[in-house]
Structure 1
């Protein structure tokens, strides 16, 4: 039986290289590969999100996902390349939801993207696995030290739920999102 601690240490080393050096993850995909995958591929895949937005807890969807420890969190927070790549991952995830990140005089904000009409049926009109993905992204952003981006996403989602018709996101999801950023 493999030693899970050393296996996770190997995954964490791989995660550092994935985020800072362009190395592939355990499935052979680099961040650039994942950023360029079509929405339909990302929607069906349940393995990319754990590498794009790692957490300090086990993943029920991917037992091979890295589990962050404090030294890796500090590395990801302090490494400029990892931080730039996190922002690109955040923008790509927003695109998967049919949203875009726009610059305003008050800083970045979430806006409806060109593909919102087609993408909203996979997450906005009913509770789906994407609500758990949003919780993961909010939590991971904070672990990377990007509370600002977590707040931009949360505020943008709440505004969207208020302004857009046909919202089917339940209160349970919103409470999980709120808990993730507080």
Structure 2
């Protein structure tokens, strides 16, 4: 890849750093505790074309970056590894399995970003895996979050 379409593309391609100087590989190497406690990485790993309410200074995904990420095998690989890491996080932790939790917003973001950047199959795969975790825990997640997840997945 000769150049990036912007900071999000560069980050996902593995050549750029986020606003705190981290590479995507650094974030993907976080243990579970920082994944829970740090709140400014998710907008970089799973960007969207709308401003983040939680991190208003996070970059916004542009159409040029969407096109570049879709066409870049390195960025696609990062997104798939990021989805796998977050799914492992949700499988290995249980604190998000309650009626309301900030991770429900993260899950919506992840599903929506995957749908935009990798396509509906990856989004549905993540969505279905999270639904299975919720089912196995006795369905603690509120109906509104479940609706947001379904909308993000396009189902």
Give TM-score scaled by structure 1 length. 0.77
Q: Deviations over 1:103-139 (max 9, x none)?
A: xxxxxxxxxxxx3xxx11x211332000010000000
User: Kindly tell me: are residues 171 and 28 of structure 1, through their superposed partners in 2, closer, same or farther at Cα, counting changes over 3 Å?
Assistant: same
2:100 paired with 1:77: no
Aligned to 1:156: 129
**Quick one: distance in 1 between partners of 2:128 and 2:24?**
26
| 8 Å contact kept, 2:8–2:59 | yes
2:85 paired with 1:96: no
Q: Report the 3-state secondary structure (helix = DSSP H, G, I; strand = E; otherwise coil) of the residue aligned with 1:97.
A: helix
RMSD: 1.4
2:125 paired with 1:142: no
Specify which structure has the bigger relative contact order, considering alpha-carbon pairs within 8 angstroms and separated by 6 or more residues.
2
Aligned pair partner of 1:177 in 138, 149, 152: 149
Q: Deviations over 1:130-166 (max 9, x none)?
A: 001000000000110321111112222223333x144
Aligned to 2:33: 40
Give TM-score scaled by structure 2 length. 0.90
Aligned to 1:133: 106
**Quick one: distance in 2 between partners of 1:94 and 1:156?**
8
**Quick one: distance in 2 between partners of 1:43 and 1:158?**
19
Larger Cα Rg: Structure 1 or Structure 2? Answer: 1
Q: Which has the higher strand share?
A: 1
Deviates more, 1:171-180 or 1:20-29: 20-29
Contiguous gaps of at least 5 residues in structure 1: 1-11, 99-114
**Quick one: distance in 1 between partners of 2:124 and 2:57?**
29
Q: Report the 3-state secondary structure (helix = DSSP H, G, I; strand = E; otherwise coil) of the residue aligned with 1:55.
A: coil
Q: C-alpha displacement at 1:181, in angstroms?
A: 1.4
| 8 Å contact kept, 1:125–1:166 | no
Aligned residues: 150
